Structure 1
Amino acid sequence: MDVDAFVEVHEPTWQRLEELVGRRRLDGDSSDELVRLYQRVVTHLSQVQASGGDPVLASRLSRLAARARTRIGGAREPAWRELARFALVSFPAAVFRIRWLVVAVAAVFVAVAAAVAAWVATDPAVLAALGSEEDLRQYVERDFVDYYSQNTAASFAGQVWTNNARIAALCVALGIAGLPVLYVLFTNAVGVGQAAGMLFAFDRGDVFFAFILPHGFMELTAVFVAGAAGLRIFWAWVAPGGRTRADSLAAEGRALFTVALGLVFVLAVSGVVEGFVTPAPWPTPVRVGVGLAVLVAFCVYVHVLGGRAVRAGETGDLRAADTGDLAPARG
């Protein structure tokens, strides 16, 4: 397809549809014209996608068709219903679908972190490469613990939330490339392993677990979920199955970007735990128990609501009415 020629021929139709969609009121003739132009645009969209044309143009036409369809079909459901559907159906369904990949990512992450920790803790040369004796002692005896209380709890929770939400969003957004997701997961595993190795080298392993586990249960699980979502998006175009690569990538991208949005709220909870529970002067079993309870609640939420939604045919994708219409077209 000659994209430039296609745009030149059909641009007036698209602009006219945009004009009609943007009007506050439509008379009978304008409403009929809106429907006719909408039908033409979804045909144009299917032609662009079937020919493997410009994805930017396809995105533009998809958005235009969605706006026109909304105008034709009337008002959407109230916002609270959309939010309820997201929390009770879309997000748990998207996570439930990739649960075994999450488990695999978690297993590899923990294995890498444990290997790095053992290497740092047992090899004096590696330990020395991380800093001088004085610097290492200051880290394991003061800095590691002080990190969790150097700012007010609310401020620290906010910093942790934004940082971890950024990591989760990167994993999903870069999923199409595959390797960046593995890099993000690997560097985080190495970082955790180095910290553990340094504390174990100075017989402070109990301190490591006491200050990592309360928030780490949920925080690391969120990272595993984000990494699994990114890798699933990558696999969607590598092995699309019976769909075209474009259709497979679009469907999985929409469904799994739901994960990135949902993890913003999950990581907010993790940030609160890290800001208020991890540095609290409570017995270690109590702090770890709070973190474990948060993780168990999340797992039950995904298993019960997500499992029910998936059995009902949900994937985490948008409703069929919101994904864009396609009319039959030859390739």
Structure 2
Amino acid sequence: MNKHKFIQQRRPQWKRFEEFLYGTSRKSLSKLEAEQITEFSRLLREVSHDLATIRSRGWGHDLISYLNDLVARGHNLFYGAPPSNLSVFYRYVSLEFPRLFRANIGYFLTACLLFFLPLGISWYVVQNNPSLASRVIPEEIMSRFDTMYSDHGESDPDNASEEDSESESEGRSSFGDERATMAGFYINNNVGIALKCFALGILLGIGTVYTLLFNGIFLGAVSGYVISQGHGERFLSFVISHGSFELTAIAVAGGAGLMLGNALIHPGQRTRFQSLQVRGLEAVQIAGGAAVMLVVAALIEAFWSPSDVSPMLKYSVGSVLWLIVFLYLAFAGLQSDETGETAAQPGPSEKPGELPSA
């Protein structure tokens, strides 16, 4: 049997199973009639068998992705039990989000290219030519950064008078207060960037691409400008820790936005509305993971980044946090990946017949 004839024969069953999933996704399977449960089980086995057949014959990535999605959703609906809210959140953070992230890592890598490459280029250009910063950064923000990272002077504690000590204390307090104020700016700014990166994906991904490019250039210009003014150590020691979660979350949200755009441009076997429903749900879940990462970044930024510890300690902690983010996204839920892949493959008892040879 050739591919075209196979698809013609099996397409009605796939559509029936997809309609079944849409109709029962919000209800408990146990509340269905016995005949409906029997039909659901039969369709799940048949679609699993079709998926294995198409995989063995290499009949197209889009078709494999479409059927694999149906099988995975059907398996989760048939075998899943409603867990508690806390366990749902824990499973989402520890398993489902990193698994979905890796399954769609191509979007993330594209978002990284669109965000980190302009960031690095503008950083280098502005650091070597600070006069260009005014073309990207408003004067008001530049003056705020100058105030935030300006030196307040340090005195030798062995020779300092009481007045000098009080002045030094006020200077440190002022510097800490200014950093706390700017922490709010960082949080609001980067959360806003992440939300825009995701939500503007509905504009065929164009809005996401623009947001990533623009904000990569802006953040790079800010970094280059502050360092060019001689505040590199203070700036880098401040951002290195929370930046691991914050900047990565922006790229993750950007990848989710690109998923929305691609769902509309390449719906595959579905209508555009159906594609947006299915792929959009995955994109929302990935964007939710980015939101969790931003919350972690905000906590680090509020309680650790402004702390009065040595820059070397901050660099060490920041390096560890970057490693943690990498390991989390690369390996968290890896066992779930293997289990999910196994579940999507039809077992011997599920096959209505032997697979045809490739």
TM-score by length of 1: 0.63
Match of 1:98 among 78, 90, 104: 104
Give the direction of change, closer, same or farther, for the CA distance of 1:227–1:151 in structure 2 (3 Å limit): same
Q: Contact 1:95 / 1:306 at 8 angstroms: preserved in 2? A: no
* 1:172 aligns to 2:198 (yes or no): yes
> Shift of residue 258 of structure 1?
0.8
- The corresponding residue for 1:300 is 327
With a CA cutoff of 8 Å and minimum separation of 6, indicate the structure with the bigger relative contact order.
1
- Is residue 144 of structure 2 the alignment partner of residue 118 of structure 1? no
**Runs (5+) with no aligned partner, structure 1:** 1-45, 51-61, 315-331
Q: Which amino acid in 2 is paired with 1:256?
A: A
Residues 126-176 of structure 1: CA distance to partner in whole angstroms, max 9, x if unpaired? 24657999996x5555324799843796x9867755654443233223222
Q: Is 2:44 the counterpart of 1:85?
A: no
Counterpart of 2:332, as a letter, is L
Distance 1:78 1:252 in 2: 25
The residue aligned with 1:196 is 223
Gaps of 5+ in 2: 1-14, 34-80, 151-171, 342-358
CA RMSD in angstroms comes to 3.9
Deviation, 1:209, is: 2.1
User: 2:161 corresponds to which residue?
Assistant: none
- Whole-angstrom CA distance in 1 between matches of 2:211 and 2:217: 10
Distance 2:327 2:130 in 1: 43
Q: Report whether the alignment pairs 1:72 with 2:31.
A: yes
**CA distance, structure 1, for counterparts of residue 310 and residue 147 of structure 2:** 19
- The answer to whether the 8 Å contact 2:114/2:213 transfers is no
Match of 1:205 among 226, 232, 240: 232
Cα distance in 2 for residues equivalent to 1:70 and 1:134: 58
The residue aligned with 1:228 is 255
Q: Give the drift of 1:219.
A: 0.6
Secondary structure of the structure 1 residue equivalent to 2:309: coil
Contact 1:148 1:274 in 2 (8 A): no
2:297 corresponding residue in structure 1: 270
CA displacement, residues 197-250 of structure 1 (integer Å, 9 cap, x when unaligned): 322433433443222222112210010111011112211232233444333322
Cα separation, 2, equivalents of 1:151 and 1:133:
18
Q: Is the 8 A contact 2:149 2:231 kept in 1?
A: no
Map 1:238-277; keep pairs closer than 5 Å.
238-277=265-304
Residues 297 and 238 of structure 1, relative CA distance in 2, 3 Å threshold: same
Mapped to 1, the partners of 2:255 and 2:137 lie a distance apart of 34
Q: Which runs of 4+ in 1 moved over 4 A?
A: 64-71, 127-136, 138-141, 144-148, 155-163
Matched position secondary structure for 2:31? helix
Task: Give the TM-score taking structure 2 as reference length.
Answer: 0.59
Deviations 1:236-293 (A, max 9, x none): 2322334443333222111121122222222111111111221111121211222332
Q: 1:133 to 1:210 in 2, by over 3 A?
A: same
Does the C-alpha gap of structure 1 residues 156 and 132 become closer, same or farther in structure 2, counting only changes over 3 Å?
closer
Taking a change above 3 Å as real, the CA distance of residues 81 and 197 of structure 1, as seen in their structure-2 partners, is: closer
Return the alpha-carbon distance in structure 2 between the equivalents of residues 254 and 289 of structure 1: 38
Structure-1 separation of matches of 2:138 and 2:193 = 30
Partner of residue 142, structure 1: 147
Residue 97 of structure 1, CA deviation: 1.7
| Equivalent residues of 1:95, 1:259 under 8 A apart | yes
Q: CA deviation at 1:103?
A: 3.3
Residue of structure 1 equivalent to 2:57: none
Structure 1 Cα separation of the partners of residues 256 and 144 of structure 2: 34
Instruction: Please identify, of 292-301 and 123-132, the stretch whose mean Cα deviation from structure 2 is larger.
Output: 123-132
What is the identity, as a one-letter code, of the residue corresponding to 2:297? S
Maintained 8 Å contact 1:140/1:198: no
